[in-house]
């Protein structure tokens, strides 16, 4: 049957079985569409990155003789909507079958199911052959269990896929988790190698995006675009990480610094989430490098990295498919506020917020602690509606696709799911930020003060959050210590804290 196969922007998997051999009756289609550029305001680097990576991938398979149809954003025949483009193509070119890979977004999954019902030809869906787990594997793993804890899922993944194991039962290094040794503050030493950049000239592509008048946020230096946009680039980022950054990754994965946007982080998330590179090959390379350099690299650096990819990443995907579509409406703490304007221009006197947002606007990137414990923490403490938080995170980060974004914002960061992902809310006062960063030294606010105009906003907001959400956390053992510290505060201090917090909010 004459077949049309769809490839979405985050399905750039060179190793997919679809591409093993050339088949004359098959045509692949790629679409740059307003449907995808406009469902949220994206960072300009995100749109550039996706379009460039899609174009590179289309070129790659075309060079291997596959037949390709590519809709560029300004092409005349591009109807800017998936269904319209598909229907036109099918009738114009007489396709007899339509095939697609299961999308990772609920929205697109629903849309494709609807399209398949409405078009008059045979259809078939395939796996993306990217993740370690299937969509429903997590649900099956936890079925009948009282509580979902990522750690048990992660251990099962290690066993099942024989990753960092000494034998069928025992983990490499004698422990499953080295999280406690992954919490160092970076004080200028060891030296951080420059990030693996690419300095690609994407000026022409930027002009196309401008011509299409797509609304974007953030900044870009289109003459030196720094993200990987091909399989080759992605492998090079992976190799660079193994050789130069892995040695200190675990130690400093939670550290924050005014002058360092990336520290020892790999910056592989965009390559991974577009599937230019697979989690299996990332883990194999990292572990292979570790086994070859055991005298230089400690297991704690490697385990911390593997936990992110094999544990958290797969876990969040499983939660997404288990909990959608209701998850998107969750707002357990009934928060209602808007995000402050400074999330779009970094103009705030809070040094931690200024640097975290500035990094995000300049690079379409911030590492997990900046996202979780600075901008996410502040949004939760100021009672922001999770819809606004989602829109900001989904738009600003180059690696943000809903399955991984929403589980991290609503679940991990905003406690909107009431504790499905995180067993306690990830909130902190200024003292955690001070412990992990050099932000507070030069801040307008004083981290040591809880009340008064010059007090660190995170302090009063933190105690106010515990105070005003107390009934949600009573009975949660992990919150006992925080609540008993709250109880020790005298009523005058609490009144001052509430007043200061109210003013900030
Ligand atoms: Fe952030 Fe408070 Fe430290 Fe300023 S003092 S950098 S607001 S934590």
CB 164, CB 157: distance < 8 Å: no
Q: Which SS3 state, helix, strand or coil, does residue 99 take? A: strand
Q: Please give the number of the atom of ligand 1 that sits closest to the Cα of 353.
A: 1
Question: What's the 3-state SS for 450-476?
Answer: CCCCCECHHHHHHHHHHHHCHHHHCCC
Instruction: Answer whether 377 contacts ligand 1 (Cβ < 6 A).
Output: no
How many whole angstroms separate alpha carbon 387 and alpha carbon 331? 9
The pLDDT of residue 474 is 87
Q: Which two tokens stand for residue 406?
A: 């929403």
Buried b (16+ CB within 10 A) or exposed e, 183-211: eeebeeeeebeebbebebebeebbebbee
Instruction: Answer whether 437 contacts ligand 1 (Cβ < 6 A).
Output: no
* Beta carbons within 8 Å of 35's beta carbon, 6+ residues apart: 80, 81, 82
Least confident interval from 196-200, 387-391, 398-402, 409-413: 196-200
Q: Which SS3 state, helix, strand or coil, does residue 100 take? A: strand
CB 457, CB 447: distance < 8 Å: no
The pLDDT of residue 378 is 98
CB 202, CB 320: distance < 8 Å: no
Choose among 433, 505, 434, 419: nearest CA to 468: 505
Q: Is the dihedral of CA 136, 138, 142, 147 positive or negative?
A: negative
The residue assigned the tokens 């399209």 is 115
pLDDT at 179 over 80: no
pLDDT per position as a tens digit, 79-95 = 999 999 999 999 999 99
Kind and range of the H or E element at 495? helix 491-504
What global pTM score does this model have? Answer: 0.96
pLDDT at 291 over 90: yes
Q: Would you say domain 137-323 falls under CATH 1.25.40.80? A: yes
pLDDT at 134 over 80: yes
Q: Which two tokens stand for residue 22?
A: 């050339």
**Which residue is closest in CA terms to ligand 1's atom 1?**
352
Instruction: Answer whether 378 contacts ligand 1 (Cβ < 6 A).
Output: no
The pLDDT of residue 320 is 98
Expressed in angstroms and rounded, the spacing between residue 328 Cα and the centre of ligand 1 is: 31
Instruction: Answer whether 230 contacts ligand 1 (Cβ < 6 A).
Output: no
- Nearest-5° Cα angle at 440, 304 to 355: 70
Q: What is the DSSP string of 130-172?
A: -SSS-TTHHHHHHTT-S---HHHHHHHHHHHTT-SBSSSSPBG
pLDDT per position as a tens digit, 426-450 = 999 999 999 999 999 999 999 999 9
Instruction: Answer whether 439 contacts ligand 1 (Cβ < 6 A).
Output: yes
Give the fold, CATH level 3, of 329-504.
DNA Cyclobutane Dipyrimidine Photolyase, subunit A; domain 3 (1.10.579)
Choose among 261, 283, 44, 333: nearest CA to 158: 283
Residues composing the chain: 505
Q: Is the dihedral of CA 356, 360, 362, 363 positive or negative?
A: positive
The pLDDT of residue 60 is 96
Expressed in angstroms and rounded, the spacing between residue 336 Cα and the centre of ligand 1 is: 24
pLDDT at 132 over 90: yes
pLDDT at 182 over 80: no
Q: Please give the number of the atom of ligand 1 that sits closest to the Cα of 351.
A: 6
pLDDT per position as a tens digit, 221-280 = 999 999 999 999 999 999 999 999 999 998 999 999 998 999 999 999 999 999 999 999
How many whole angstroms separate alpha carbon 413 and alpha carbon 377? 7
Check if 3-126 and 329-504 are the same fold.
no
Q: What CATH number has the domain spanning 3-126?
A: 3.40.50.620
Q: Which two tokens stand for residue 135?
A: 């969509």
**What stretches of 308-376 show up as alpha helix (H) in DSSP?**
314-323, 351-363, 368-369
Confidence of residue 27 (pLDDT cuts 50, 70, 90): very high
Q: Where are the domains of the chain?
A: 3-126, 137-323, 329-504
The pLDDT of residue 149 is 87
The pLDDT of residue 148 is 85
Expressed in angstroms and rounded, the spacing between residue 425 Cα and the centre of ligand 1 is: 20
The residue assigned the tokens 């078009």 is 119
- Residue 381: how many other CB atoms lie within 10 Å: 24
The pLDDT of residue 244 is 95
* Beta carbons within 8 Å of 145's beta carbon, 6+ residues apart: none
Q: Please give the number of the atom of ligand 1 that sits closest to the Cα of 443.
A: 4
Q: What percent of the chain has pLDDT over 90?
A: 92
Q: Please give the number of the atom of ligand 1 that sits closest to the Cα of 447.
A: 5
């Amino acid at each position: 049957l004459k077949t049309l196969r769809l490839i979405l922007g985050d399905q750039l998997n060179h190793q997919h079985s679809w591409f093993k051999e050339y088949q004359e009756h098959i045509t692949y289609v790629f679409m740059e569409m307003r449907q995808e550029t406009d469902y949220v305001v994206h960072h300009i680097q995100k749109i550039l990155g996706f379009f460039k990576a899609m174009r590179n991938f289309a070129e790659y398979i075309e060079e291997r003789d596959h037949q390709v149809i590519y809709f560029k954003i300004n092409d005349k025949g591009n109807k800017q909507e998936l269904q319209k483009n598909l229907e036109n193509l099918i009738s114009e070119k007489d396709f007899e079958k339509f095939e697609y890979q299961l999308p990772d977004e609920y929205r697109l999954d629903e849309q494709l199911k609807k399209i398949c019902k409405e078009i008059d030809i045979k259809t078939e869906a395939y796996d993306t052959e990217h993740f370690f787990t299937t969509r429903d594997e997590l649900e099956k793993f936890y079925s009948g269990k009282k509580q979902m804890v990522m750690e048990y899922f992660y251990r099962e993944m290690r066993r099942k896929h024989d990753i960092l194991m000494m034998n069928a039962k025992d983990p490499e290094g004698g422990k499953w988790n080295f999280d406690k040794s992954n919490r160092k503050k970076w004080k200028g030493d060891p030296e951080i190698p420059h990030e693996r950049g690419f300095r690609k000239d994407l000026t022409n592509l930027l002009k196309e995006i401008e011509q299409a008048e797509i609304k974007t946020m953030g900044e870009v230096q289109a003459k030196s675009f720094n993200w990987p946009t091909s399989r080759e680039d992605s492998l090079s980022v992976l190799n660079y990480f193994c050789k130069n950054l892995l040695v200190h990754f675990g130690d400093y994965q939670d550290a924050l610094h005014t002058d360092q946007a990336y520290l020892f982080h790999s910056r592989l998330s965009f390559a991974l989430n577009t599937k230019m590179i697979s989690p299996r090959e990332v883990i194999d390379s990292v572990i292979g490098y570790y086994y070859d350099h055991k005298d230089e690299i400690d297991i704690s650096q490697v385990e911390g990295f593997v936990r992110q990819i094999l544990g958290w990443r797969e876990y969040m995907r499983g939660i997404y498919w288990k909990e959608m579509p209701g998850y998107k409406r969750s707002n357990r703490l009934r928060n209602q506020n808007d995000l402050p304007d400074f999330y779009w221009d970094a103009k705030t006197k809070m040094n931690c917020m200024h640097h975290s947002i500035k990094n995000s606007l300049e690079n379409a990137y911030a590492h997990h602690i900046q996202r979780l414990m600075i901008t996410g923490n502040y949004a939760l403490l100021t009672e922001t509606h999770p819809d606004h938080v989602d829109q900001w995170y989904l738009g600003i980060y180059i690696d943000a696709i809903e399955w991984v974004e929403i589980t991290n914002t609503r679940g991990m960061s905003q406690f909107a799911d009431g504790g499905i992902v995180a067993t306690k809310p990830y909130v902190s006062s200024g003292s955690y930020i001070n412990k992990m960063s050099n932000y507070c030294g030069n801040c307008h606010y004083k981290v040591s003060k809880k009340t008064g105009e010059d007090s660190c906003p995170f302090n009063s907001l933190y105690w106010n959050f515990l105070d005003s959400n107390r009934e949600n956390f009573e009975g949660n053992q992990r919150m006992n210590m925080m609540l008993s510290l709250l109880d020790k505060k005298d009523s005058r201090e609490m009144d001052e804290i509430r007043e200061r917090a109210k003013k900030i909010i």
